[in-house]
Amino acid sequence: MILKGRGISKGKGEGEVVMNASATSFLGGVEPSTGRLTDPALGGRSVKGRVFAFPQGRGSTVGSYVLLEMKRQGTLPAALINALAEPIVATGAVMSGVPLVDHIDLSLLRDGDTAVVDGTRGTVELPNVKECHVVSCIVRDGDKVLLLKRSAEVGTFQGYWAAVSGFVEVGESPQRTAVKELSEETGLDLPIAKEGRMVTVRDRDTIWHIHPFLFEAKAPSVCIDWEHTEFCWVTPQEVKDYQTVPGLAELLHDLL
């Protein structure tokens, strides 16, 4: 799996990901002699030789020189990943020769991931994470939408509630997949009423690219297949009361 971002500091670095959910100052936030993070909430973890991921830098411009001191001490991270690089971290990374890529969605990273950061190409590769493209088909009848409970026979998210869904096969468009899956899983033959923006979420070692589609129906007769054990019609507000697959609430918000 390769995430495309923006290369800020050239070079390539590989290592275990250390995550910090908060903006980070290298001045006071990292011990240059050891590479350890000083925030007690991070358990004294070290970024030495690792890929350090955090939203953005903050604080004094002296933070740039802390990175330079870490280079002298041999405690530099293997690479840096930001959601948005600001001048302090960017300058420090360039001066110390640490690869830095930003414009990366940090919600797709996990502590302990192996990451290969290429600051020249502006990419972050996660070799142990796979990606899948799927469709999610929302069927609306008036003010209610169709939810289906996934059976124990399907490969993922058994027992979860979901919309009609399916994998986009190589060479097949998401639009064609959506119409096909709707027919196979519910017996409904409907045209696409609306196509939403793709949503990307991560669950364990898989990143899911979800292509959402809305179908409009009037008192439809639903006939579920083996992939589901039951179905129900609920208002969008009631969806939160169900254990649903990742990203479903976001899809509904975008489509409805």
Could you tell me whether strands 164-167 and 130-141 are parallel, antiparallel, or unpaired per DSSP bridges?
A: antiparallel
Which residues touch 237 (CB under 8 Å, ≥6 apart)? none
* Terminal-residue alpha carbon distance, the chain: 31
CA distances from 107 to 160, 195, 213 (A): 22, 24, 24
Q: What angle, 0 to 180 degrees and rounded to 10, lies between the N-to-C axes of helices 62-73 and 87-96?
A: 30
| 60 flagged as catalytic | yes
Task: Given the residues 22, 60, 107, 173, select the one marked as catalytic.
Answer: 60
Neighbours of 246 (CB within 10 A): 16
CA atoms within 13 A on the CB side of 227: 21
CB 13 within 8 A of CB 98: yes
CB 163 within 8 A of CB 43: no
Residues designated catalytic: 60
